[in-house]
Amino acid sequence: MAKSKRLSFRSRAHTAAATLALLLLAPLASECGGLWAQNYTDVLRYSRVDPLGSSRSIGLGGAMTALGADLGTMWSNPAGLGMYRQSDFSLSLSLGAGGAKTQALDESSIDATPHVILPQFGLALTYPLTLADFEHATLAVGYTKLNDFHERAFWTAEAEGGSMTEEFAGGAQGTGWQSLFNLDAYYIEPAWNAYLIDLVDPDVDGVYAPAYTDGPVTHALRRESKGQMGETTIALGTTYRKRLHMGLSIGFTSVDLVREELYKENGFAETSDLQEWTIKDELEVSGAGMHWGAGFIYQFQGLRIGASYRSGERLKIDDYYQVTVHSMLTSVPSGYNSESPLSYIQYKVRTPRRYSLGAAWTLGKVAVVSMDWQGVNFARASFSTNDFAQNYVDGINNEVQEMLQHANILRAGLEIRATEFWRVRAGGGYESAPSINATDEGERAWASLGCGYRKDNWYVSGNYRHRMSSEEGRMFASAPYETSAQLGLGLLTVTGGVRF
């Protein structure tokens, strides 16, 4: 590559004409930049939830559709509020660690990020009624964590050949260097600015070579995210003739997510001018939406049957995205930095409806067994925005229908009354994969174990819950090998409350 000549014409032509074009095109690029970022995975991110709740509901694996008198039922089935005979206030706190055990070629890594979250708090006020068939009603307001986005994962491997710079060069072929911004302002154009690709011949525009090819290279990828998705719920429950519990709810959802992915290459051959380079993707998301829900529980002798329905959330999302590239060269020790435009996209996601069925058996005063099924058709979710052309929006929705599928969620729990005051709980669950793409996070499973103490009008309980899932993929699209990760999220939760 003719690096010295390129430096000469670049310093004049690119900083004059191309910088002017950059200023003129920046607003358009900011609107269109998401063309490289938005796809069906954005819809899946907010459609797939992992609700927490009180320590009791977590300890029972989340199997609360046919149970009640617990603020953890506001998400699963508001009819459970009809079982209250007293008012209730409770607060939960969790210490968590979200991480992964990763594998890339012969290299394995383990990493995690500790954090503290508020999985649930709420207030339930129970009022007597003067109606013959309805003795009381309960109005509740509470917050439930739907998704804990905290996660840290790291992959690294030493390979013989296979640099992402080759991918940049391949994508740029046939496009003049002054038009790379319009081709891809988020990857290829920053790679050009950082000298990760160059013209093979300065006199022949549109033919590029990568900064490195054919030789030893170390790949490394670090992914870290933090944030949460939560729901503030207002719900009302009552009981008809002491057997039929009914409930309605309306929920207001909030989303906050910060994600960073840092990819690095080094360990090149000694003859390479390129010594090390990195590319950092930064995503910051905030949003809000709402939904409604309804359910019932019918109580037989020792058996309760429950069912609930949740409408999909209508979420309005603000999405900020930027890419930064840095390179270090032997010929230029200070290296080069290049940033993409800051992309701001506003879009809406309609998450799918959820249907739940549950059953609970009371074994005298000794134990309670609870089981739930929930069905979600993720292919029924949708995406919309005014920032993209309609044909691109249609393409995302086609991806949703083609790549996502119906998932079944099973939950089960057991509560044993060990003594007059102590309860022991164990539970777990399983969710089938919502996507047919193996590179997405697949099926999930979780297990929990805990206990609770209740005396007079106060109670305290605690449990540990661990969620497991896996994913496969590559550090970049043309990487010469696949990677894998065993993802885990552990939560130690304590709940305290008082009834009055």
What is the per-residue pLDDT for 182? 95
**pLDDT surpassing 60 at residue 130:** yes
For the record, the structure tokens of 390 come out as 């309609």
CATH architecture of 37-163+212-313+351-499: Beta Barrel (2.40)
* φ and ψ of 171, to 5 deg: -70, -25
What mean pLDDT is predicted for residues 423-430?
A: 98
Task: Determine the 3-state secondary structure of 49 from DSSP.
Answer: coil
Q: Are 434 and 419 in contact (CB under 8 A)?
A: no
What is the per-residue pLDDT for 406? 97
Specify the higher pLDDT residue, 131 or 27: 131
**pLDDT surpassing 80 at residue 215:** yes
Q: Give residue-wise pLDDT tens across range 49-62.
A: 999 999 999 999 99
**pLDDT surpassing 60 at residue 454:** yes
What mean pLDDT is predicted for residues 210-224?
A: 95
Task: Determine the 3-state secondary structure of 386 from DSSP.
Answer: coil
Q: Taking Cα atoms as reference points, which of 64, 118, 131, 17 lies closest to residue 412? A: 64
Specify the higher pLDDT residue, 369 or 9: 369
What mean pLDDT is predicted for residues 448-457?
A: 96
What mean pLDDT is predicted for residues 343-361?
A: 97
What mean pLDDT is predicted for residues 400-414?
A: 97
**pLDDT surpassing 60 at residue 326:** yes
Sequence letter at residue 54:
S
> What is d(CA 372, CA 206) in angstroms, rounded to the nearest whole number?
59
Q: Are 124 and 88 in contact (CB under 8 A)?
A: yes
What is the per-residue pLDDT for 1? 42
What percent of the chain is modeled with pLDDT above 70? 93
Calculate the CA 472 to chain-centre distance: 16
pTM over the 0.75 mark: yes
**pLDDT surpassing 60 at residue 34:** no
What mean pLDDT is predicted for residues 473-489?
A: 95
With cut-offs at 50, 70 and 90, classify the pLDDT of residue 167.
Answer: very high
CB atoms within 10 A of CB 330: 12
Ramachandran sector of residue 143 (left: φ over 0; alpha: ψ -120 to 50; beta: rest): beta
What is the per-residue pLDDT for 301? 87
Calculate the CA 21 to chain-centre distance: 37
For the record, the structure tokens of 480 come out as 């010469």
Q: Give residue-wise pLDDT tens across range 328-337.
A: 999 998 999 9
What is the per-residue pLDDT for 7? 35
With cut-offs at 50, 70 and 90, classify the pLDDT of residue 37.
Answer: low
Q: Give residue-wise pLDDT tens across range 133-142.
A: 999 999 999 9
CB atoms within 10 A of CB 390: 10
370: enclosing H helix or E strand: strand 367-377
Q: Taking Cα atoms as reference points, which of 441, 493, 431, 477 lies closest to residue 151? A: 441
DSSP secondary structure code for residue 394 in this structure? H
Q: Give residue-wise pLDDT tens across range 270-316.
A: 999 999 999 999 999 999 999 999 999 999 989 999 999 999 999 99
What mean pLDDT is predicted for residues 358-369?
A: 95
What mean pLDDT is predicted for residues 58-80?
A: 96
> What is d(CA 403, CA 477) in angstroms, rounded to the nearest whole number?
18
Q: Are 34 and 343 in contact (CB under 8 A)?
A: yes
What is the per-residue pLDDT for 18? 35
Secondary structure (DSSP) of 197-246: EEEEETTEEEEEEES--SSEEEEEEEEEEEEEEEEEEEEEEEEETTTEEE
**CA-CA-CA-CA dihedral for 163, 189, 397, 389, to nearest 10:** -160
Q: Average pLDDT over the chain, rounded to whole?
A: 91
Strand partners, 497: 90, 459
With cut-offs at 50, 70 and 90, classify the pLDDT of residue 441.
Answer: confident
What is the per-residue pLDDT for 440? 81
**CA-CA-CA-CA dihedral for 70, 71, 73, 74, to nearest 10:** 150
**pLDDT surpassing 70 at residue 88:** yes
Q: Give residue-wise pLDDT tens across range 105-117.
A: 999 999 999 999 9
With cut-offs at 50, 70 and 90, classify the pLDDT of residue 38.
Answer: confident
> What is d(CA 146, CA 254) in angstroms, rounded to the nearest whole number?
10
**CA-CA-CA-CA dihedral for 470, 232, 310, 126, to nearest 10:** 130
What is the per-residue pLDDT for 31? 33
What mean pLDDT is predicted for residues 422-434?
A: 97
Specify the higher pLDDT residue, 8 or 414: 414
What is the per-residue pLDDT for 265? 98
What is the per-residue pLDDT for 429? 98
